Every structure is written in C-alpha cells, then in structure tokens.
C-alpha cells in the first residue's frame, strides 16, 4: 500500500486587502499542511521602493508569520521560508485608499482686518504713484496663510520607513491689514487738510475715509459687488482640493535623507498653491477692481 505525502504550501495574505491610508494592515504566512519552518526573509515593494526585512525566526508546527503596521501605499509583499523539503515563497498584496478629509476653505463672508505694521507696506509715510493708482501692498494688503499638516512615520510593517501625512491640514486663514497712514490721528492722516491749490486737489479727511473704505472692499474686508482678494482666494480654494493633494504625499525615508524632507515638500506645495492664487488675481482683482485716488496726498 502506497502512502500519499502532500507537499507543503506557503499561504500568504494581507488583511484588510483594501485599507485607508494610515490604518493598520497585517500580512501573514503559514504552512499548509502545518509544519515547522524557518522564516528567511520578508520583502515589500511600494511605489517601486524595496523594503527587505532579513530577520530569521523559527516557527513550530501551526505557527504563523505576522507583519503588521500602518498602510501607506499599494504594496506587494513576498515571504520566503525554509522547510525540511526546501524553500518556499508566497506573495500577497494590499491596496490603499486615500482618506476623505474636509476640503480646505477660507471661512467667513469678509476677512477680518487691523491696522498693520509699517514693514508690511514698505515703510511710512506711503509713497503714491502720480496717476493715483494705489498698488497692492502700499496702503492695504491681504495675507492668506495655510499651515502644513503633521507628518507621520511608519516604523514597522510592510510599509515601514515610509513618511506620510498623518492628519488633515487646518483650515487656511486670511487677514487684511491697512496702513496706519489711514488711521485718524496718524501724522500722515492729519497732514491731509484738503486745502485748495495746485493742478490736482489735495486730499482731505473725507477722501481718506473713502479711500480706506474702498481698500477694505478691494481686500475683501467689506462687502462689495466687485472682485476682492478675499473672495477670489475663497474661489481658488474651492476650485482645487488642496487637502487631497496634501493627503496623497508620501516619501521613502532613504529619499528624505538625500533630498527635501516630506515636510519641506508639503510646504513647497502649499507655497506654490498660494503663489498661483496671487498670480490668478492679477487678472481679476487687479484689473477689474483697481483703487484709484482722485486727489493729491500731502507728505507730513
């Protein structure tokens, strides 16, 4: 009578097979039928980057290799073991889905404002153009800021040594600033007496009050029917899901050592988005809602 001996097979799998980025994933491998074996190597490949864990380990019959950690990218794993019959290799994989975080949006109907430091406007007193066009940043400015999200690091598991964005970026912020030259009581403000003389009428207090109102509308700190920097900035964030772009960023540790870190790359993405926002407004706010002063300012 001939006895049948079943050849052992190494069975590997990853659970969950489909997971949100940052959630735990566990890849296992076991012999079928059960038997003792020696783990020789675990390998993982994500986005073309190879991770090798050569740590050997012995397992008794019924034992199971387990490899757990946060999932960062779509990953394929390969586990190699040695049995009394020879070496066995098994493969498995898991896919990663982006996290659905709230979109980044500038809140509010108008931007808050304050009188700003002289450095914002290039010093004091302000210098004006002869044609009366008030250039952005000379008497008022809108500052839009976006903080970077925190970076996380996968210390273990198939996606170990990957850096990724750990939590959502906070909402952006906007704040308008007006030069103190337009504040009642400032020496520059006091110097505008509206006295007659010259080809162009000199400015008075009423002109400065009107100028401040129009500048606040221009920056978006007062409601206006024309484009404003604040409203156009809100529209820019609505058009592009910057949060989703940031969420998808990941970097292998070895690349972070020789090049920009993930934090630096994320900051560069935010800077680029804000620069593009400013560039787009040169075709909207700058052209469609200019602020022009129809009187002559007097230097104190």
**9-97 classified as CATH 2.60.40.10:** yes
- Please give the pLDDT value at position 199: 62
Percent of the chain topping pLDDT 90:
85
Q: What pTM value is reported for the model?
A: 0.88
- Average pLDDT, rounded, for the chain: 94
- Please give the pLDDT value at position 1: 45
Torsional class of 238: left (φ above 0), alpha (ψ -120 to 50), beta (otherwise):
alpha
Question: 27 and 158 in contact (C-beta within 8 Å)?
Answer: yes
Token pair in block for residue 64: 């199971």
Asked whether residue 198 carries a pLDDT value surpassing 90, the answer given is no
- Please give the pLDDT value at position 222: 97
- Please give the pLDDT value at position 70: 98
- Please give the pLDDT value at position 2: 47
pLDDT digits (tens, 9 = 90+) for 138-189: 999 999 999 999 999 999 999 999 999 999 999 999 999 999 999 999 999 9
Closest among 218, 186, 216, 189 to 204, alpha carbons compared: 189
| Domain spans, the chain | 9-97, 113-288
HSE-up of residue 226 (Cα within 13 Å, Cβ side): 15
- Please give the pLDDT value at position 6: 64
Instruction: Provide mean pLDDT across the span 34-62.
Output: 96
Question: 110 and 230 in contact (C-beta within 8 Å)?
Answer: yes
Instruction: Provide mean pLDDT across the span 248-252.
Output: 98
Chain length of the chain = 300
Asked whether residue 231 carries a pLDDT value surpassing 70, the answer given is yes
Hey, how many other C-beta atoms are within 10 angstroms of the C-beta on 251?
A: 23
Least confident of 122-131, 206-215, 255-264: 122-131
- Confidence class for position 131, pLDDT limits 50, 70, 90: confident
Asked whether residue 58 carries a pLDDT value surpassing 80, the answer given is yes
- Please give the pLDDT value at position 61: 96
- Please give the pLDDT value at position 197: 58
Asked whether residue 272 carries a pLDDT value surpassing 60, the answer given is yes
- Give the separation between CA 80 and CA 75, rounded to whole angstroms: 17
Asked whether residue 109 carries a pLDDT value surpassing 60, the answer given is yes
- Please give the pLDDT value at position 35: 95
Q: What contacts 287, CB < 8 A, 6 or more positions away?
A: none
Instruction: Provide mean pLDDT across the span 44-49.
Output: 98
Instruction: Provide mean pLDDT across the span 9-38.
Output: 97
Asked whether residue 194 carries a pLDDT value surpassing 80, the answer given is no
Token pair in block for residue 90: 């098994």
pLDDT digits (tens, 9 = 90+) for 203-224: 999 999 999 999 999 999 999 9
Question: 262 and 163 in contact (C-beta within 8 Å)?
Answer: yes
Asked whether residue 33 carries a pLDDT value surpassing 70, the answer given is yes
Token pair in block for residue 274: 């804000």
For the residues of the chain, what is the DSSP string, one character each? Answer: -PPP-PPPEEEEEEESSEEETTSEEEEEEEEES---EEEEEEEEEETTEEEEE---EEE-TT-EEEEEEE--S-EEEEEEEEETTEEEEEEEEEEEE---PPPP---SSS--EEEE-GGGGTSSS----TT-B--TTTSEEEEEE-PPPPEEE--SSTTTTEEEE-SPPPPPEEEEEEEGGGSTTSHHHHH------SSSPBP-HHHHHHHHHHHHHHHTSS--SS--HHHHHHHHHHHS-HHHHHHT-EEEHHHHHHS--HHHHHHHHHHHHHHHHHHHHTTTHHHHS--B--SB----
- Please give the pLDDT value at position 128: 83
- Give the separation between CA 47 and CA 34, rounded to whole angstroms: 34
Question: 133 and 290 in contact (C-beta within 8 Å)?
Answer: yes
- Please give the pLDDT value at position 3: 45
Instruction: Provide mean pLDDT across the span 272-285.
Output: 93
């Amino acid at each position: 009578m001939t006895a049948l001996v079943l050849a052992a097979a190494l069975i590997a799998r990853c659970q969950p097979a489909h997971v949100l980025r940052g959630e735990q994933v566990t890849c296992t491998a076991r012999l079928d039928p059960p038997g003792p074996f020696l783990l020789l190597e675990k390998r993982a490949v994500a986005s073309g980057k190879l991770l090798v864990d050569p740590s050997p380990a012995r397992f008794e019959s019924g034992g199971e290799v387990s490899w757990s950690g946060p999932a960062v990218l779509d990953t394929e794993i390969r586990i190699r073991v040695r049995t009394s019959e020879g070496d066995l290799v098994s493969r498995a994989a898991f896919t990663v889905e982006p996290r659905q975080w709230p979109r980044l949006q500038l809140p509010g109907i108008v931007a808050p404002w304050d009188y700003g430091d002289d450095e914002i406007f290039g010093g004091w007193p302000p210098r004006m153009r002869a044609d009366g066009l008030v250039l952005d940043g000379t008497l008022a400015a809108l500052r839009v800021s976006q903080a970077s999200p925190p970076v996380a690091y996968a210390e273990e598991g198939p996606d170990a040594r990957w850096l990724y964005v750990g939590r959502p970026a906070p909402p952006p912020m906007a704040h308008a600033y007006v030069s103190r030259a337009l504040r009642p009581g400032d020496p520059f403000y006091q110097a505008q007496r509206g006295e007659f003389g010259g080809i162009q009428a000199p400015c008075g207090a009423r002109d400065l009050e009107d100028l401040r109102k129009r500048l606040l509308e221009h920056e978006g700190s007062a409601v206006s029917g024309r484009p404003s920097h604040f409203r156009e900035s809100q529209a820019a964030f609505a058009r592009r899901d910057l949060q989703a772009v940031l969420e998808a960023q990941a970097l292998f540790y070895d690349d972070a050592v020789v090049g920009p870190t993930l934090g630096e790359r994320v900051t560069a993405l935010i800077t680029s988005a804000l620069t593009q926002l400013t560039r787009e407004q040169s075709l909207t706010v700058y052209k469609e809602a200019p602020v022009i002063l129809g009187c002559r300012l007097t230097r104190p």
